[in-house]
Structure 1
Amino acid sequence: MPRLPNSLLSKAGSIDPLVLLILPACRDLNSAKNELRWLREHVQGLVRIKKHTQPFIDERTSLRQLCERRRRGEPLQYILGSEFFGDLEIQCRPGVLIPRQETAASVTRLAQILRDETRQRSRERFKHGYVPGPLQVLDLCCGSGCMSLLLIHHLLEYGVLPPHSHVTGIDISGTAVDLAKLNRARNFPKLENPRMSFLEADIFSDQFVKNNTHGRANSASDSEDVGYSILMANPPYISPAEFVRTTARSVRNFEPKLALVPPDPSSPQVQPGDTFYPRVLEIARAIRPRCMLLEVADMDQATRVTQMVEKMGQKWFGLEIWRDDPSSGESCGLSGTEWLIRGTGNGRSIFVHNFPTPSISKP
């Protein structure tokens, strides 16, 4: 990491000694000023809350303590205790991966597709008296629950969430599951539809598919209107080498490695970093979802996972690679394949679906 120029350090110190204190972690003067403002507002809020129980709390001392934590590289989200994820404020805790805005962009795009597909099917079937079946969502490696919660937020906002829908979030970390439950309670304190369950489980266990999956596996045919079955997964996907070489120091030192680096693959055909994807696709074969959204690290991994999807033995109507912002920029087909690449930025997600309506092809 390059050293900061003395002129920048002098300018930061002239603004506020605390700006100078956190500048090395922020690496940018405007970012340091913004973060100090957020930290100060956070402390002021704590003072207001605790003034009856701790009347002698010193605001400046508390602020400096938080700035010291930031100086050591602790992520701002852990210090403040939350991060905005799309329209939602998601609680953050050490031991649980911090939500990323690129993931929020993918979930928002998925919600838009589900909205358009639902409305299209409703128009086509209204004259026949069909009622949409319940939505079923399986969220693997759910972490803070951010993906499920944002998806449901958008579907409620669009008015397309069928009655009796259900969301199941799975994570191996009990700390993550507890936080997901807290985020559900904070963002949807009175929500009855859908029912949302966050469970601690190991998706590699022999009994997982039998005990914890929901979907279309028992439906008589794909033509039945039993509602959408959606599989989402944001698994650990960074190889040990990439973890050391490419991740920020704050990520390596403070965020849970369990949520970032998967165990070594059991098959020599699977590259380090890809360990979870064969298992996720095995689960997909069992539940036969109508669509999947799988988070990936970059375009190289997106290509490998897309090739795995093609080898599943299941026919998909559409297979797409989404970049960081899947709603912007040109869409293009990848030469020699039937894949569509959407958006701008780095490779971020794999989206596959069995929605026949042409409306979802519009970015």
Structure 2
Amino acid sequence: MPRISPWLFRKANRHSPNVAALLPACRDIPSAVNELRWLKEHVNGTAHIAKESLLARLCTKRGQGYPLQYILGSQPFGPLDIKCRSGVLIPRPETEAYTYHLAYLIKSESLKIGGPKRDLGIVDFCTGTGCIPLLLYALLCPKFDHLEVLGADISTQAIKLARNNIDHNIRLGHLPDRQLHHNLGIVQEDIFQNEIIEKLQERKWDVMVSNPPYISRRAWNYGGGQVGHSVHKYEPSLALVPGDDVLVPVDWSHEDVFYARLLEIASHLKPRAILLEIGDREQARRVISRFFQHNLSKNSEVQVWRDWPDLASAADKDCILEVPVQDGSSRAIPIQGDGNIRSIFIRLDA
């Protein structure tokens, strides 16, 4: 990242020393002024007596790269207010965008999910703050007579925070209160243990979603585009990098191991649609290529979504991803939306 020029610091300091303190993290003055406004609102809402000194300390901390969401304690996610705590991955706008797009596809009935009984089951693995299942529940509650949305994570800290987020958003009125035939839950499970399959097979799951750890150990340790300084220093590696203790199947890369397991789980749960966040184009190509070798791929339809899947693609963006298949040929997978490649959408029994 390029250094900030001294004249920009001087210009920021003319606004206030706090704007100058925020500049290394914000990179420009308008962003620093905006964050200062949020930090002032946060400090004014505290019982702290020495508010000016607290504000200065928080601006310095933020300027050193500490995530704003951890300082403020929350992140907007659609209509929701998602509490954020150190040790749990911060929700991203791109995740919000594909969650909205998935909800739109379900509500528009283009996926033909739910059917005449108007019942729907969604399971989200590696749920973190619970942002994905909470938003899907909020958006889909009015559409379905019977709705079950479940988030699962291995982290005790994440589970506690996700459950807290349910209660918090119900209190705020952003989530409908618990009602008959509608259920939103969070469970602590290790997806690499077969007990989770046995438990979930008792219920019907139409949609499976996951934003799993997908960053390689090399990228985490040495950089490479996917990992910024703030992310590496302050956000949990457990949510970003597959653990060293995870058994990697033959011919799979370590950073792709969660996808191998998620496809195996899907073969048991038999969802009608799968949405998986991925890191970049090459990971999308690898995962889709392995999907086509899986028994799930029969009568399937695969798409790659960019950051903003509901937007028209920019003129300079590729609209096709060529994916190698077993016979040595390739398959053309459509890419939709604008921004960077972000997720894989699979419709089964298409």
Separation in 1 of the partners of 2:265 and 2:151? Answer: 14
| Aligned counterparts of 1:83 and 1:293: Cα–Cα separation in 2 | 22
Counterpart of 2:64 in structure 1: which amino acid? R
Aligned match of 1:281: 263
What is the TM-score when the length of structure 1 is the normalising length? Answer: 0.84
Higher CA-based Rg: 1
Which blocks of at least 5 consecutive residues in structure 1 are unaligned?
217-227, 357-363
TM-fit CA distance, 1:302? 1.1
Of 144-153 and 346-355, deviating more is: 346-355
1:348 aligns with 2:335: no
Instruction: Give 1:257's aligned residue.
Output: 237
**Equivalent residue of 2:81, what SS?**
strand
Equivalent in the alignment of 1:16? 16
2:51 aligned residue (42, 51, 59): 59
Contact preservation (8 Å) 2:106, 2:112: no
Instruction: Report how many aligned residue pairs link the two structures.
Output: 327
- The 5 Å alignment of 1:222-241 reads 229-241=206-218
Q: Secondary structure of 2:97's match?
A: helix
2-side partners of 1:65 and 1:298: how far apart?
A: 36
Distance 1:174 1:237 in 2: 20
Are the counterparts in 2 of residues 75 and 254 from structure 1 also a CA contact under 8 Å?
yes
Residues 200 and 269, structure 2, Cα contact 8 Å, conserved in 1: no
Partner in structure 2 of residue 313 of structure 1: 295
* 1:33 counterpart = 2:27: no
Could you tell me how far 1:119 is from its partner in structure 2? 9.8
SS in 1 for 2:152: strand
Which segment drifts farther, 302-311 or 106-115? 302-311
| CA separation of 1:205 and 1:43: change in aligned 2, threshold 3 A | same
CA positional deviation for 1:326? 0.6
Q: Which of 123, 140, 145 pairs up with 1:138?
A: 123
Distance 1:211 1:36, change over 3 A: same
Contact residue 319 and residue 338 of structure 1 kept, 8 A: no
Provide the secondary structure at the position in 2 that maps to 1:273: helix
Deviations 1:241-298 (A, max 9, x none): 1123131111011000100011245235112311111001110000000101111011
* 1:249 counterpart letter in structure 2: H
Secondary structure (helix, strand or coil) at the match of 1:340 reads strand
Instruction: Tell me which of 85, 88, 91 is aligned to 2:77.
Output: 85
Shift in CA distance, 121/259, structure 1 to aligned 2, threshold 3 Å: closer
Whether the aligned pair in 2 keeps the contact of 1:174 and 1:200 (CA below 8 Å) is yes
8 A contact 2:134–2:184 mirrored in 1: no
Offset of residue 188 of structure 1: 2.9
**Residue 159 of structure 2 corresponds to which residue in structure 1?**
177
Q: Describe the SS at the equivalent of 2:232.
A: helix
2 CA distance for matches of 1:65 and 1:89? 25
- Contact 2:122/2:149 (8 A) holds in 1: yes
1:165-201: CA deviation from partner (whole Å, max 9, x where unpaired): 2122110101101111011112234232521221111
CA distance in 2, matches of 1:325, 1:113: 14
1:275 counterpart SS class: helix
Unmatched runs of 5 consecutive residues or more in structure 2: 172-176, 323-329
Give the percent of matched residue pairs that are identical in Structure 1 and Structure 2: 40
Residues 40 and 55 of structure 2 are in contact (CA less than 8 Å); yes or no, is this contact kept in structure 1? yes
Q: Name the SS for the 2:109 alignment partner.
A: helix
Determine if contact 2:120/2:144 at 8 Å carries over to the other structure.
yes
1:221 aligned residue: none
Q: Distance in 2 between matches of 1:42 and 1:139?
A: 31
User: For the Cα contact (< 8 Å) 1:95–1:175, is it kept in 2?
Assistant: yes
Deviation at 1:213, TM superposition (A): 4.7
Give the letter aligned to residue 350 of structure 1.
Answer: I
Partner of 2:185: 197
- 1:116 correspondence with 2:99: no
CA deviation string 1:28-51 (max 9, x = no partner): 2111111111101111122xxx3x
Question: What is the 5 A alignment of 1:67-82?
Answer: 67-82=59-74
Name which of structure 1's ranges 326-335 and 282-291 shifts more when overlaid on structure 2.
Answer: 326-335
In the alignment, is residue 4 of structure 1 matched against residue 4 of structure 2? Answer: yes
